[in-house]
Structure 1
Amino acid sequence: MQPEIIIPVLMGCALLWWIGRGMGWTTRLLVGAIALGLIALVLLVERALR
Protein backbone atom coordinates (compact mmCIF):
# COMPACT_ATOMS: atom_id res chain seq x y z
CA MET A 1 0.00 0.00 0.00
CA GLN A 2 1.03 3.57 -0.53
CA PRO A 3 2.11 5.75 2.42
CA GLU A 4 -0.46 8.43 1.55
CA ILE A 5 -3.16 5.84 2.31
CA ILE A 6 -1.58 4.08 5.31
CA ILE A 7 -0.61 7.15 7.35
CA PRO A 8 -4.07 8.82 7.39
CA VAL A 9 -5.71 5.47 8.24
CA LEU A 10 -3.34 4.93 11.17
CA MET A 11 -3.82 8.50 12.38
CA GLY A 12 -7.59 8.12 12.13
CA CYS A 13 -7.48 4.91 14.18
CA ALA A 14 -5.31 6.58 16.81
CA LEU A 15 -7.68 9.56 16.96
CA LEU A 16 -10.72 7.31 17.34
CA TRP A 17 -8.95 5.37 20.11
CA TRP A 18 -7.99 8.58 21.93
CA ILE A 19 -11.47 10.09 21.67
CA GLY A 20 -13.17 6.79 22.50
CA ARG A 21 -11.36 6.13 25.77
CA GLY A 22 -14.30 7.38 27.83
CA MET A 23 -16.98 5.81 25.61
CA GLY A 24 -18.75 2.48 25.91
CA TRP A 25 -18.41 -0.19 23.25
CA THR A 26 -21.75 0.62 21.65
CA THR A 27 -20.82 4.27 21.23
CA ARG A 28 -17.40 3.33 19.83
CA LEU A 29 -18.98 1.06 17.24
CA LEU A 30 -21.45 3.78 16.28
CA VAL A 31 -18.69 6.37 15.89
CA GLY A 32 -16.62 3.91 13.83
CA ALA A 33 -19.58 3.16 11.56
CA ILE A 34 -20.27 6.87 11.04
CA ALA A 35 -16.59 7.51 10.25
CA LEU A 36 -16.51 4.67 7.70
CA GLY A 37 -19.71 5.99 6.14
CA LEU A 38 -18.24 9.47 5.80
CA ILE A 39 -15.07 8.06 4.23
CA ALA A 40 -17.13 6.07 1.72
CA LEU A 41 -19.21 9.16 0.93
CA VAL A 42 -16.11 11.28 0.30
CA LEU A 43 -14.65 8.59 -1.97
CA LEU A 44 -17.89 8.32 -3.95
CA VAL A 45 -18.11 12.09 -4.41
CA GLU A 46 -14.45 12.29 -5.40
CA ARG A 47 -14.84 9.58 -8.02
CA ALA A 48 -18.06 11.11 -9.35
CA LEU A 49 -16.34 14.45 -9.95
CA ARG A 50 -13.58 12.93 -12.07
Structure 2
Amino acid sequence: MPADVLSLDIIVPILVYCALLWWVGRGMGWTARLATAAVTLVLVVCVLLVERGWR
Protein backbone atom coordinates (compact mmCIF):
# COMPACT_ATOMS: atom_id res chain seq x y z
CA MET A 1 0.00 0.00 0.00
CA PRO A 2 1.45 3.42 -0.90
CA ALA A 3 2.50 5.67 1.97
CA ASP A 4 0.14 8.52 1.00
CA VAL A 5 -2.91 6.25 1.11
CA LEU A 6 -1.85 4.85 4.46
CA SER A 7 -1.45 8.30 5.94
CA LEU A 8 -4.93 9.29 4.71
CA ASP A 9 -6.32 6.16 6.35
CA ILE A 10 -4.98 7.49 9.64
CA ILE A 11 -5.49 11.24 9.21
CA VAL A 12 -9.11 11.27 7.98
CA PRO A 13 -10.58 9.29 10.92
CA ILE A 14 -8.65 11.47 13.37
CA LEU A 15 -10.05 14.63 11.79
CA VAL A 16 -13.58 13.20 11.81
CA TYR A 17 -13.18 12.17 15.45
CA CYS A 18 -12.02 15.66 16.41
CA ALA A 19 -14.96 17.24 14.58
CA LEU A 20 -17.45 14.90 16.27
CA LEU A 21 -15.87 15.49 19.67
CA TRP A 22 -16.16 19.24 19.13
CA TRP A 23 -19.80 18.91 17.99
CA VAL A 24 -20.89 16.66 20.84
CA GLY A 25 -18.76 18.42 23.44
CA ARG A 26 -20.04 21.94 22.85
CA GLY A 27 -22.14 21.80 26.01
CA MET A 28 -19.61 19.82 28.04
CA GLY A 29 -16.90 21.02 30.36
CA TRP A 30 -13.25 20.28 29.70
CA THR A 31 -13.13 17.34 32.11
CA ALA A 32 -16.09 15.70 30.39
CA ARG A 33 -14.46 16.26 26.99
CA LEU A 34 -11.20 14.72 28.18
CA ALA A 35 -13.05 11.75 29.68
CA THR A 36 -14.96 11.24 26.43
CA ALA A 37 -11.73 11.39 24.43
CA ALA A 38 -10.02 8.91 26.77
CA VAL A 39 -12.90 6.42 26.67
CA THR A 40 -13.07 6.63 22.89
CA LEU A 41 -9.34 6.06 22.51
CA VAL A 42 -9.54 3.02 24.81
CA LEU A 43 -12.37 1.63 22.69
CA VAL A 44 -10.31 2.17 19.53
CA VAL A 45 -7.37 0.31 21.05
CA CYS A 46 -9.67 -2.56 22.07
CA VAL A 47 -11.09 -2.82 18.56
CA LEU A 48 -7.57 -2.83 17.08
CA LEU A 49 -6.51 -5.60 19.46
CA VAL A 50 -9.53 -7.71 18.53
CA GLU A 51 -8.97 -7.13 14.80
CA ARG A 52 -5.32 -8.10 15.04
CA GLY A 53 -6.07 -11.28 16.97
CA TRP A 54 -4.69 -10.29 20.40
CA ARG A 55 -1.08 -10.59 19.22
- Give TM-score scaled by structure 1 length: 0.87
Q: Higher Cα Rg: structure 1 or 2? A: 2
Amino acid at match of 1:43: L
Stretches of structure 2 that go unaligned for 5 or more consecutive residues are: 1-5
More relative contact order, 1 or 2 (CA 8 Å, 6+ apart): 1
CA root-mean-square deviation: 1.4
Q: Determine which of 6, 19, 22 is the counterpart of 1:17.
A: 22
- What is the aligned partner in structure 1 of residue 52 from structure 2? 47
Identity of aligned residues (%): 57
Question: How many Å separate the matches in 2 of 1:41 and 1:9?
Answer: 17
- Which residue of the partner structure matches residue 36 of structure 1? 41
For residue 4 of structure 1, report the CA deviation from its aligned partner. Answer: 1.5
> Taking structure 2 as the reference length, what is the TM-score of the superposition?
0.80
**Structure 1 runs not aligned, ≥5 long:** none
Q: How many residues end up aligned between the 2 structures?
A: 49
